[in-house]
Structure formats: C-alpha cells, structure tokens
Amino acid sequence: MRIDDAALIEESWRRPDAFAALYDRYFGDVYRYVAGRVGTQVADDLAAETFVVAYGKRATFDPGRGVVRAWLFGIATNLVAQHRRSETRRLEALRRAPAEDDTDGGHEDRVAARLLAAGSRGRLAAELRRLPDHDRDVLLLVALADLNYEEVAQALDIPSGTVGSRLNRVRRKLRAALGGADPAIGGTDE
Amino acid sequence: MSDLNGRPFPGLPHDRGDLDAVRALLGSPEPSLDTVVDGRARLLAALAGDAADAGSLADVGSLPDSGFLTDAGPFADAGPFADADAEAEAGDAVPAEPREDPIPLRGAHDPATREPGRLRTTGRMRRRLATVGAGLAAAATILMAAVLAAPGGPVTSMGPGTPVSTAQDTPGASSTPSANTRKAREVLLATADAAAKQPAGEGAYWRTKRVTWWQTPTGDRAYVLELSLSEEMWLARRPGDKSRRISRFLGAKPATANDEAAWRKAGSPSSWNLLPPGEKVTDVVAAKPGEPVVSELRGKWKGSGGDLAKELLSWDDLAAIPDDVDGLRAYLTRLVGKGKGPADDPDRARNLLGEAVVQIVEGLPVTPRVRASAFRLLATMPGVRAEGEVTDRLGRTGQAIVYRSDGRVKERIVVDPRTGRTLAKETTTVDTTGGPEVRLHHQTAYEQIGWTDERPAQATGRE
C-alpha cells in the first residue's frame, strides 16, 4: 500500500500536499544526520530547510538516477556546507571536552559513547576536523545516514568509484587515530 | 545502530567499529516535538503558497483538474473550517454548545470522561513518548506532528489571488467586530481581572500537571486512534534542585464510535503500528497504559522556568517579561520575530504571537499581572471568537475562545473567567497527507499549575 517516494514527488505537482508525506517519512533521518554534524540548535533550522529546498527543486529529482532519500541527504549536505563553521566549532568542542555534557544524544548514543575512551574521542574529533570537507561528507553520509556507495554517489553527484576511494582513505585515517593498526574498538579485539 | 539494513556495501571491511565510533562521538539525536511540528509547518506554508499559485493556473485550464484545485479543495478559500466560522459569525447569540462543534468535547457517552480514573489503571508498557532515543521516537513524534500541526506555523489557506470573501478572521479585513468577537473580548477581560487577583505565590518548584489526548490515524489509515499522556513538569526555582518531568502514557483506543466499529472489523487489535505497512520500521503503540517515567531535565532545561516561542527562559528572563499590555505585545513580537521564515507574512506573525500569548496563560511561571496582561492582549487580537460554555475532558466548565482558525488549523482555549485560569487548549487539524482528509482533534487539559514546596519523585531508570 505504500506509495513510492518518487510517485509522491510526481503527485506533488498536482497536489503539493503529497510532498508532506516525504517529510513525515524522512524528517527524522535527515534531522539525526544534520544534528550529528552541526548540533541540534542549527539542525532545528537546517533539517526543516532541507525539505523546503527539496520541494522547491523537486524538478531536479530524476527517478532514473536514484532514490528520494539519497537526494534529500544531498540537499541536507549542501545546507550543512553553508554552516561549516558550526560543524568546525562543534568538532573543536568535542575534541577539547569529549562529550561530557552531551545532552543531545539519545540514551543509546550515550551508552555507545561511554565505550569510547575519552582519549580516542578527542583524537577522533580532531581527525574529523582535519578531514577535507568532501571526505567528511562521504564519511558522515555513511556513518550517520547509513547510505551505501551508490546513494552517496547520488547524494553528492560524484562517481561511485570516487566514493569508494575517498571512504577507504578516510577510514584508514580514522583507524589510525583510534589506535593505529590494532583498532581498540569494534569488537575485533586481537 | 550499525545495522546496514542489508544494503550492499561492496569493498567495505566487515568491521564497522570506526564508523560506529564516529556515530558514537557525534550522536544522532532525535528532533524535539517542537522541531518536527515547526518544520512541518514551514513546509506546509511553502506548499500552501504553491497550491494557491497552482489554483490560479488551474483556473485558466493549464493544469488537469484534480479536484484539489477546485473551490472545494482544502486550499480553497477559507478552508475546511469555513462553515463553522461562517456559522459562528452569523449567529448573534452564543450557543451554549455549538451545533456541530468542530472540536467535539466528549460527552457522557465517553467512558474516558465518565471515569477518568479508568485511564490510570496500572499497566506495564511504557513504550512510547516516555522513551526518547529508541530510534523510533522520531517516527512517533512525526505522527504526532500531523496531529498537533503547526502551532504558530502559517498553514494558511489564503494565497495570493485567492478570493477573500469569507475571510472574516483576517486581520484588518473588516471594521466592526462580530458579536462572537465582542463576547470573546468580554470573557477574556473578565478572565484577566480574575487572574490579576490571584496571589503570586512562591515555592521551591513551579509545577504544572496536564493531560493530553491526541488523535492519529493507524498506519494503514483504516481508522483513527486516540492516545493520551499525562505530564508533570517540576521546574526547580533554586539552582541546587533538580528539575524533573514525570510522564505517563495513559493508553490508546479508537477515537470515535465509527473508529471503534472499524477497529472491531479489524479484529479488535490491542496494539497498532502507526507507520504505513511496507515501511521498514514500525512504531507500535499499545492500548495498555504505561508506568510513570520520571526523568531529570538536563541541558538547556537546567535553570529554566519554561519555554516561550521555542526558547527556554531562565528565571531572570521570566521576571523581565513586561507586565503591561503594550510592553508585553512589543516583547512577544520581538521574541517571535527572532525565528526564521517569511517575516513579511502577517498571518504567520499573528499566529506566532497568538501562540506565544497562549503559552503564557496556559502555565508559564509569570506574575498574576503578566498573566492578566496576556489575557488582555489576547482580547485585542483580531479573529478571537467566543464559542460559549463547554466542558473539558476533566469535566470542568469554562468558556471556549477561538484564537486561530485558518485553512488547516483551528485552536481554542477554555478559560474560567471566575478564577482567571486556563483550563484547556484544543486543536483541530486537517490531515490530508495520507490521502483522504481526516480531521484530528487534540486536547490538553491543565490539571494543576502553581508553586509548591513538595518535591518531585526521584528519576527512574539509569539516567
């Protein structure tokens, strides 16, 4: 019974309201991604803006080229790019005081966060901050938004091969930051 | 959290530890209800503007007639509430109970009203609402958003070029206030006088207790459910004390007799998925009430005495709110103007201001003088309208005052002019996102508001 995302966009040309169904479907996803990057205060605005912008440029959505969800994340990523300073400030704060007073995250996040030693957190935040913007975009679309290669490629409008190489490069750096060749996290204790 | 939902991930190491670490570091917080509601309102405003444009195009035949763009459509003219408005405007006398009350207050046939205690039976589930961070809370929140729809958001039906023949509630649209507007002003001014006479009071905590009933369609949209929640806020006046929120899910049931019939036909389920079938996630709500959940208020809530126009105010901020009508109007106008969005939209500005005024009278810890001024300010607002005496869900009698009624949203408060208290707030929204139009009713009853030296229960769980 579920109406396809692309069909909703199509329908929205006749009946603009149909677009609101996409909001109901994806606002949570987009919000969590954006808030993870720029913090909740900016995210309140940006996540909402994502859908207004998406509605305005829905003519640019090409169902032949991918899925609505990835397209929305692409728009959200562009908006985040206009708030790089918020992201940088947040990463800097996380580097200095690794999320002692992180009231943003849900309970599960806090539990997960405790598993990470404070030292690794600081190093990880520093590494994230140092990443080139386009590398960080790829990484966080995977880590926070759970997009796959094809979807990241669609969101950022780059070839999927590029996604793969960027991601591998970034992950090597992260693993190094988290404990060199012997990653101390992730349950691969050996 | 690290589940990739079975999507192919060619070339990635199996170990996602580094990605999980990134996620753990940055978090993936859930949006607050306000955020979801606001964002939706913003989108609907954009859609509404467009629908009006599309409507004028349709008139010259350049778009297929979908039924939506005709005068009968939800965006047409004064919208679904037009009839009720027109009727209310036309009548000189204020009916004790409006004929077809657009926000039906439950009568004696409703067991929930007859036996409020029934809702408080002890249950075990505390699945939703009380728990945040479960990942599905966002989905629940979003569904609630469809119900709460846009306090302060411009969900107006009035687009450029739309006929304004019945826009009697539009600010500045007409000169002489109708009988119902005059009556609303009398009621509000009497309520203000009573509010001003209340003692200021003091205590260790500002405590508010409220019960909310709201409606949401089942995921398959076969019928409408009504859910309810009780919430207590204990806001500590002194820095050393902890502020707490105690919430309790009071259960869910089919909203009306019709819904109940549809529910029986569906086999009388005792739980429901609120997301459409086919979604990869589910959001299940049980009929059973839950246990109370006590949580400590953290972050920006520390040292705050409540929120106004989406901002948490410190006790100092609250003490600085002007207590005269003009000062209060200027203060609130500035406060609501801080938000983004189309600032030049007079409907939006008016709605935001109205919402802020109502927030003050429904339970913000301000002085009796400020509260009285807020009632007086509300009385000056265009479009306020009396709907006569009503009984709220807790069985209390008061006067219903509509302060917002446009395309998709109708909102009113129930006040008691003898005590100066706000008893309840009611919202009716029209939801069309799932296809056929559904009218959803939402009511919050303010059970207890004021200072206390009692202490809240200790937080439950491991927080």
pLDDT digits (tens, 9 = 90+) for B391-412: 999 999 999 999 988 767 789 9
Rg of chain B over Cα atoms, rounded to whole angstroms, equals: 23
Mean pLDDT in residue range B335-341:
65
Structure token pair of residue B346 = 């007079």
**Domain count across chain B:** 1
Query: CB–CB of B22/A174 below 8 Å?
Result: yes
Cross-chain Cβ contact B68/A35 below 8 Å: no
Three-state SS for B124? Answer: coil
Three-state SS for B285? Answer: strand
> Is B114 a member of any domain?
no
**Residue B116 predicted with pLDDT over 80:** no
Residue B72: its pLDDT value, please?
Answer: 30
ipTM of the complex: 0.85
> Is B354 a member of any domain?
yes
Residue B258: its pLDDT value, please?
Answer: 92
**Mean of all residue pLDDT scores within chain B:** 70
Structure token pair of residue A67 = 């899925």
Distances (CA, A) of B70 to B59, B245, B279, B376: 8, 47, 32, 40
Contacts of B340 in chain A (CB under 8 A): 45
Mean pLDDT in residue range B28-34:
80
Q: What is the pLDDT along chain A (190 residues), one digit of tens a residue?
A: 467 888 888 888 877 888 888 998 899 999 999 999 998 888 988 999 999 999 988 888 877 777 899 999 999 999 999 888 889 888 888 887 654 433 333 433 444 444 455 567 788 888 999 999 999 999 999 999 989 888 999 999 898 889 989 999 999 888 887 765 333 333 332 2
Q: Which residue has the higher pLDDT, A101 or B387?
A: B387
Percentage of chain B surpassing pLDDT 90? 33
A83 CA: distance to closest CA in chain B (Å)? 16
Q: What angle do the packed helices A118-130 and A160-177 form, to 10 degrees?
A: 140
> Is B306 a member of any domain?
yes
Cross-chain Cβ contact A109/B434 below 8 Å: no
Query: CB–CB of B409/B155 below 8 Å?
Result: yes
Q: Closest-CA residue in chain A for B52?
A: A16
Cross-chain Cβ contact A121/B25 below 8 Å: yes
> Is B145 a member of any domain?
no
Cross-chain Cβ contact B31/A31 below 8 Å: yes
Give Cβ neighbours of residue A172 (< 8 Å, ≥ 6 apart): none
Work out whether the CA dihedral A120, A126, A132, A134 comes out positive or negative.
positive
The H or E element containing residue B449 is strand B438-452
Q: What angle do CA B201, B192, B86 make, to 5 degrees?
A: 140
Structure token pair of residue B341 = 């969005």
Distances (CA, A) of A62 to A8, A158, A189, B329: 13, 15, 44, 48
Q: A34, A109, A110, A168: best mutation site toward chain B, by most B Cβ within 10 Å? A: A109
Q: Closest-CA residue in chain A for B43?
A: A52
Q: Which residue has the higher pLDDT, B395 or B149?
A: B395
Cross-chain Cβ contact A144/B46 below 8 Å: no
Beta-carbon count within 10 A of B178 CB: 18
Alpha-helix runs per DSSP H in B325-442: 325-337, 346-361, 368-380
Domain coverage including residue B411: 183-452
Please tell me the distance from the alpha carbon of residue B367 to that of residue B378, in angstroms, as a whole number. Answer: 17
Rg of chain A over Cα atoms, rounded to whole angstroms, equals: 18
Q: What angle do CA A154, B145, B130 make, to 5 degrees?
A: 105
Query: CB–CB of B370/B321 below 8 Å?
Result: yes
Please tell me the distance from the alpha carbon of residue B420 to that of residue B417, in angstroms, as a whole number. Answer: 5
Q: Which range, of B217-231, B338-352, B424-438, averages the lowest pLDDT?
A: B338-352
Cross-chain Cβ contact B51/A187 below 8 Å: no
Residue A60: its pLDDT value, please?
Answer: 80
> Is B27 a member of any domain?
no
Burial B118-143 (b: 16+ CB within 10 A, else e): ebeeebebbbbbbbbbbbbbbbbbbb
A56 CA: distance to closest CA in chain B (Å)? 8
Asked if A86 has any chain B CB less than 8 Å from its own CB, the reply is: no
User: B54-80: per-residue pLDDT in tens?
Assistant: 433 333 222 232 322 222 333 333 334
Give Cβ neighbours of residue B3 (< 8 Å, ≥ 6 apart): none
Cross-chain Cβ contact A171/B24 below 8 Å: no
Cross-chain Cβ contact A35/B1 below 8 Å: no
DSSP state of B431: E
Q: Closest-CA residue in chain A for B282?
A: A25
Q: Which of residues 129-168 of A touch B (CB under 8 A)?
A: 139-140, 142-144, 146, 148-149, 164, 167-168
- The tokens 């109502």 sit on which residue? B358
Mean pLDDT in residue range B109-138:
30
Of B21, B28, B141, which is closest to A144 when you measure between CB atoms?
Answer: B28
B339 falls in which pLDDT band (50, 70, 90)?
Answer: low
> Is B73 a member of any domain?
no
**Residue B222 predicted with pLDDT over 90:** no
Of B436, B408, B373, B343, the C-alpha closest to B145 is: B408
Beta-carbon count within 10 A of B253 CB: 16
Beta-carbon count within 10 A of B99 CB: 9
Cross-chain Cβ contact B5/A146 below 8 Å: yes
Structure token pair of residue A69 = 């969800």
- The tokens 């459509």 sit on which residue? B73
Question: Which amino acid does the sequence have at B85?
Answer: D
Residue B280: its pLDDT value, please?
Answer: 61
Structure token pair of residue A190 = 């050996």
Query: CB–CB of B144/B216 below 8 Å?
Result: yes
Q: Which range, of B4-13, B44-53, B222-231, averages the lowest pLDDT?
A: B4-13
> Is B135 a member of any domain?
no
Nearest 10 degrees: Cα torsion A121, A123, A128, A132: 180
Distances (CA, A) of B28 to B133, B414, B439: 9, 39, 33
Residue B332: its pLDDT value, please?
Answer: 93
Residue A155: its pLDDT value, please?
Answer: 93
The H or E element containing residue A69 is helix A68-81
Of A20, A40, A112, which is closest to B1 when you measure between CB atoms?
Answer: A112
Sorted by where each starts, the structural domains of chain A and their CATH numbers stand as: 5-177 (1.20.140.160)
**Residue B96 predicted with pLDDT over 80:** no
Asked if A38 has any chain B CB less than 8 Å from its own CB, the reply is: no
Query: CB–CB of B53/B160 below 8 Å?
Result: yes
Of A102, A174, A183, which is closest to B27 when you measure between CB atoms?
Answer: A102
User: B413-427: per-residue pLDDT in tens?
Assistant: 999 999 999 999 998
Query: CB–CB of B445/B424 below 8 Å?
Result: yes
Residue B436: its pLDDT value, please?
Answer: 67
User: B246-290: per-residue pLDDT in tens?
Assistant: 888 899 999 999 999 999 999 999 998 877 776 666 677 889 998
C-alpha B132: how far from chain center: 19
Please tell me the distance from the alpha carbon of residue B329 to that of residue B349, in angstroms, as a whole number. Answer: 12
Please tell me the distance from the alpha carbon of residue B176 to that of residue B185, in angstroms, as a whole number. Answer: 13
Query: CB–CB of B404/B354 below 8 Å?
Result: yes
Q: What angle do the packed helices B17-26 and A160-177 form, to 10 degrees?
A: 80
User: B159-177: per-residue pLDDT in tens?
Assistant: 333 332 333 344 444 457 7
Distances (CA, A) of B363 to A10, A58, B204, B209: 44, 42, 16, 9
Query: CB–CB of A44/B35 below 8 Å?
Result: yes
Contacts of B24 in chain A (CB under 8 A): 109, 112-113, 115-116
Q: What angle do the packed helices A68-81 and A84-96 form, to 10 degrees?
A: 80
> Is B262 a member of any domain?
yes
Cross-chain Cβ contact B1/A15 below 8 Å: no
Structure token pair of residue B71 = 């005068």
Q: Which residue has the higher pLDDT, B17 or A115?
A: B17
Query: CB–CB of B228/B147 below 8 Å?
Result: no
